Amino acid sequence: MSTDKTFLALADFLIPAHGDMPAFGSVCTFADAEKALDFRVDLKEGFDRGLDADPALSAEAHLEKLNKEDGGAFSAVTTIAICTYYMNPRVRELLGYPGQESVRYDSKATQIYLTDGSLGHVLARGRKYRPTPGL
C-alpha cells in the first residue's frame, strides 16, 4: 500500500466519522498532513517509520504494534493526524472553534461579581491570612 493510503487508513481508524463529525479522510488529505509535518520536522523520522506498515496488518493492529514497540512513531503519526484534523476549517466550524481569537472588552466595565453579591460573600467571610507575629 502506498504511504498516503497507509496514513489515511490509520487516520480514519483514529478519527472516524461520529455524529456530526466527519472522518479524517472526508475533510483532510495526505497533503494536509504533509503540510502539518512541515511545522514539526522533528516528527518526520518517526512519521516515516510509522507508515512502514505490514500490509497483512489491519490499521488497528498496526497502531497497536506501534504503540507497544515504537512509541516515537506512534506519537508522530497520531500527533500529525489529530492536529491536521483540528486545524481543518470545516472541523473547526463544526466544533464552533474560531481558533485562539482576539476578544474585545471594556477594561473599565463593572464586573458581574461586584454587582451580584458573590464577591461580597467572600468579604463577609472575613480575613483569611495569618498576620506576621509580633506586629
Q: Point out which residues bind another protein (CB under 8 A).
A: 13-16, 18-19, 21, 36, 39-40, 42, 60, 63-64, 67, 71, 74-75, 78-79, 82-83, 86-87, 95-97, 99-105, 107-109, 111-113, 118-119, 121-123, 125-133, 135
Cell numbers placing 130: 495569618
Q: How far is the CB of 122 from another protein (least distance, A)?
A: 6
3-state class (DSSP) for residue 21 = strand
Shortest distance (Å) from residue 45 CB to another protein: 14
Q: Which is nearer to another protein, 52 or 60 (CB)?
A: 60
82/60 Cα distance (integer angstroms): 16
State which amino acid sits at residue 52.
D
Burial 52-71 (b: 16+ CB within 10 A, else e): ebeeeeebeebbeebeeebe
CB 30 within 8 A of CB 4: yes
Q: Cell for 49?
A: 517509520
Residue with Cβ nearer another protein (56 or 104)? 104
- Residue 3 or 92: the one with the smaller Cβ distance to another protein is 92
* Residue 44 Cβ vs another protein, minimum distance, rounded to whole Å: 12
